A and B are shown apart, each in its own frame.
Chain A
């Protein structure tokens, strides 16, 4: 389990947030048939269960003939009815579980699609403060938790209330006095259920918290094996662990003890109900008020029937509270509005262009060609008050390369992110041919970029899938051509695996079956295939071997020749060749110029360059 700023699960109990649950129930709308089946089954089931004791009573009376008449001939009739009711019961079970399946899986499907769609639209700022594991859990386990509950909530609310009301109606219409006697057990039953379920809810939460501490402790034990031994603190660690496992033990035991008290109480109350029915009913039988033994037995059954619906209703209530945090997170994700999106004006322009296309215009109605991109006094912060970029200005033109140089955290990546409009500047402007880039279509602008990242990510799938990610309709020939250009075709053609080699080679999760250098080449090929007018490259220093690097250098150069390119540069070769170099320090441009100019100043750039030189050489020597 990964933990981070958003990770800690909230274990404190809260009130049931009915407004939230109403919205969650709203997701049932597309499945009206299943909802009707669920609720209908619940009600009919309750009806059958309430009527069964009465039918049994008729059978007993007919068989015993105690009311003085010979009614044995009625047995087959009542028996038949009894059998039919049981068959209906089984059929209803079949129906409602299937409907529950339709509901649970259907709503889960919709919610997952919704969440996934939303995640594709949210800006990077959203992802920066949330770990991937946390987000994955929203789409997977949280959705399961919420949707797994919904059908049973529906069923039990209808079944449980119908049962309670049904039993009361049946008892009071048959024999009000006896009904009253038996229903005395309902208030204590409901009260104790409410009291215990609440306590069990709390202790089960503490149990889960203890459990997550336990998992974290194991994680530490496993990952820190060497450190623990180096510090020779195995015994202290074992003692600390013993505390944590003890906490888990005590809360689990407490939870079990609560249920150990609760269940006997419920059973005893049921038995007392039977005794009450026997007493009040027996008196009536003795007084020959017409109450038959069969009916008496029916009331004794009713006494035992009360506890189940009360327990189920309480359990659903507990489930609601348990799933509330998950429901909140899922609903929040669905409600999260993308902070970066097209303005009304831009949307209108896109619509106009779509309705009446003007020849030679971009989809947003603007100029499709890009001649200059200008940063004009751009500043940025991710968290208010913590400025990461300040007053950065530069101009980009096709055929020129801008190199960004500086230490980690100096703002290089932020500049790239702003350029691609993954973030928007909090100060200053970014102008595309003189037009503020927020006045152009987001989709159009972002489709102008090719981005090659430092840690290249490949998707699970084949080499072909990954290269074609740059252009989905590329043919195998085109894929091979572009691989050839980045000098990757040789190694790709040598790839072999039982599940397919060459272009069919499965790269594994994140590309794990390839070396990082190979992944970089594939991601470069992918970007080249897309053929965009603007390139952003975030270089890595050491992942491609020197030979390959030299040969792809030419390819990169020929590709960048007539494009705008911004390189977050680490390699000296790249830095030297750039037309313009910005040296950044804590979000400010501290030196700018060409390599020769900057070396001549004998400032920070020179020192940084020489450091990098020594570093690269040492690395090469010791690899």
Chain B
């Protein structure tokens, strides 16, 4: 079933089977039971037309002596010819009984295959989710998020349909045939031949037809993509359209895309019409050959009416599944590609655990960066020999042009990445010997664009400390200067945020994330440009609140504004992956360099005007 899908290399077949086999773990018995039920149900189903065959040939027909042994056996089972002739409701009972048992097996087949395949799908989903959240960050950064989401959703769906429906359908076709062929050949080899000779052609036709037309599906999907893009382009730019009064022009431009899509979509219908009608014709020929050969043999007296009926009924039972099987097999390629894409994610490296027993995290919140070098790609160093000591309880501000490596430094502290050279210590302990969870619980970090989950504000803040009571949430929110804003929302702390909730401004999101970090009661607090969307007045209040908690945690603030930097005990100026200068506000102000230039902006205003500058005090609205 290997398959060349688009430009992707053929997935390794053994890898797919190994992957499949391991994913089926825990439900292999159910898959087995489903297969057994499938066999049993198929066997029972063919018994149904055997009953009318027997009754017609032995009881109703004019030549009971010519009836086959099989027919006699069925009639004897019901109590013999005379008995059945007197009580024609007996066959009805037998048929009902057989149909019921067949029904039970069919139910079992569907039940077990559904449960097993859904369990497998759930297992794949859970594994993917867990794998993603534990991925090594370098691997994660390289992934395309849209593509990753697709692997988690539609590729899993494809796999699930493959396991629950496609495999079963193909299996059903095979089993139906495998059961029917021996019975048919036992009854009459000529009829049996007439009933199967076209099957290879029917399956082959479906198989090759769908292989061949697959490119057309892709064309249509692409046209659909272009159509969607056209609508999207127009709607995103609707203000520009209106600004230039170009509505008619847009309608004219949309038309050909719409028409293109229609044409390709209609072509698919044409393709289908050819397939279904030709394939129907082939199937009908198979049926007609049974009828005509049957009529000829019947007229010659070589078979009986009942046997004719059996063949006619049997063909009707396996013909359509066999036809579908060809098409499904042609589409197996999709499933193997999907499974391969899932396997690719499941095989990506995850964050490594500490090998030996992890060290206990020290209470001391001092940080040492020792000779840190780091590069995402070998030729572009991001950090180049960083040595930085931060004392317990100290507030350090880091400033520098964008791309100087500030944020990377913070991410190394959290062990999102491992430095290429050097190491980081907290309280004198190499963080590589700490448990990642412990480390990250002690180091609370707020990013410039914090992520909020789709839940209420209260629940989001609570994530930092699930056991916290409401009073401490409100205190943290108060310190982050967001309490009042939250109170103004209609549902207050119960307001839903995130993708399905209220859209918050960047500043509001940042402040909620700060409240979350404060609730975590960390020994180290890192604000990675986390006040950029907050106005200066509010920024000052937040920093003051954090300062008043001083002694409780070491604080590292990455900032752009002088007003923020000034609040720190020490300022570190970074540039090009190195530390350019470090010192207090007073020290750096008097030295030439970036910090001095920042200071000059402010002082130029003050020189320009001796009225004190009270910046942005009412801006917090």
Contacts and interface: CB of A to CB of B under 8 A. Distances in A.
Interface string B444-466: 11010011011000000001101
A283 B129 contact: no
B95 interface: yes
Contacts of A493: none
Nearest to A263: B106
Nearest to B294: A63
Contacts of A293: 56, 60-61, 305
Contacts of B329: none
Contacts of A60: 295, 298, 305, 308
Contacts of B52: 274, 278, 297, 300
Given A97-B277, A420-B243, A218 B447 contact: no
A453 interface: yes
A251 to B, nearest CB: 9
Given A268-B99, A607-B615, A286 B134 contact: no
Contact of A94 (B107, B277, B284): B277
Nearest to B442: A232
B295 A62 contact: yes
A30 to B, nearest CB: 13
Contact of B621 (A218, A276, A586): A586
A383 interface: no
A140 B107 contact: no
Given A101-B269, A216-B499, A238 B119 contact: no
Interface in B428-477: 436-438, 440-441, 444-445, 447, 450-451, 453-454, 463-464, 466
A191 to B, nearest CB: 17
Contact of A618 (B229, B285, B601): B601
B259 interface: yes
A249 B236 contact: no
A75 B298 CA distance: 11
A472 B248 CA distance: 12
B126 A252 contact: no
Contacts of B562: 614, 618
B431 to A, nearest CB: 14
A257 B113 CA distance: 10
| Band of interface residues on B | 35 or more
Contact of A216 (B277, B454, B561): B454
A66 B277 contact: no
Contacts of A121: 247
Interface stretch (A112-120, A167-175, A341-349, A563-571): A112-120
Contact of A457 (B135, B237, B277): B237
B73 interface: no
B399 interface: yes
Interface stretch (A153-161, A222-230, A395-403): A222-230
Interface in B72-95: 85, 88-89, 91-95
A435 interface: no
Nearest to A2: B499
A15 interface: no
A276 B295 CA distance: 25
Interface string A233-244: 110111001100
Contacts of A422: 239, 242
Interface stretch (A131-139, A192-200, A314-322, A480-488): A131-139
Contacts of A614: 561-562, 601-602, 605, 615
A127 B235 contact: yes
Nearest to A251: B118
Contacts of B10: none
B115 interface: yes
Interface stretch (B16-24, B145-153, B365-373): B145-153
Nearest to B156: A214
Nearest to B104: A264
B614 to A, nearest CB: 7
Nearest to A619: B560
Interface in B97-116: 98-100, 102-104, 106-107, 109-111, 114-115
A459 interface: yes
A596 B215 CA distance: 68
A257 B451 CA distance: 40
A63 B152 contact: no
B598 A218 contact: no
A291 B139 CA distance: 77
Where chain A touches its partner, the secondary structure class is helix
Given A60-B305, A65-B299, A264-B103, A621 B437 contact: no
A83 B92 contact: no
Contact of A229 (B109, B414, B505): B414
Contacts of B96: 268, 271-272, 275
A460 interface: yes
A557 interface: no
A272 to B, nearest CB: 6
Contact of B561 (A228, A300, A602, A618): A618
B303 to A, nearest CB: 10
Contact of A90 (B45, B94, B284): B284
Contacts of B137: 225
B591 interface: no
A460 B103 contact: no
Contacts of B164: 256
Contacts of A331: none
Contact of A286 (B85, B153, B309, B618): B85
B421 interface: no
B402 interface: yes
B129 A75 contact: no
B209 interface: no
Contact of B55 (A140, A241, A265, A282): A282
B605 A613 contact: yes
Contact of A278 (B91, B243, B265, B294): B91
Given A120-B251, A136-B235, A249-B122, A232 B441 contact: yes
A278 B450 contact: no
A121 B305 CA distance: 71
Contact of A241 (B93, B126, B268, B615): B126
Nearest to A91: B277
Contact of B295 (A79, A300, A615, A618): A79
B60 A230 contact: no
B327 to A, nearest CB: 15
B99 A267 contact: yes
Contacts of B605: 610, 613-614
Contacts of A86: 281, 284-285, 287-288
B153 A214 contact: yes
The 10 closest A-B pairs by CB, nearest first: A101-B269, A264-B103, A256-B114, A260-B110, A451-B243, A97-B273, A275-B92, A94-B277, A271-B99, A63-B298
Given A252-B118, A279-B91, 5 more contacts: A63-B295, A64-B308, A116-B258, A221-B133, A286-B85
27 contacts: A3-B499, A3-B500, A4-B500, A59-B291, A60-B305, A100-B269, A101-B266, A109-B261, A119-B235, A218-B153, A222-B149, A231-B520, A232-B437, A248-B121, A249-B121, A263-B110, A271-B95, A276-B92, A282-B88, A297-B52, A407-B619, A453-B240, A457-B237, A509-B232, A527-B243, A614-B561, A615-B561
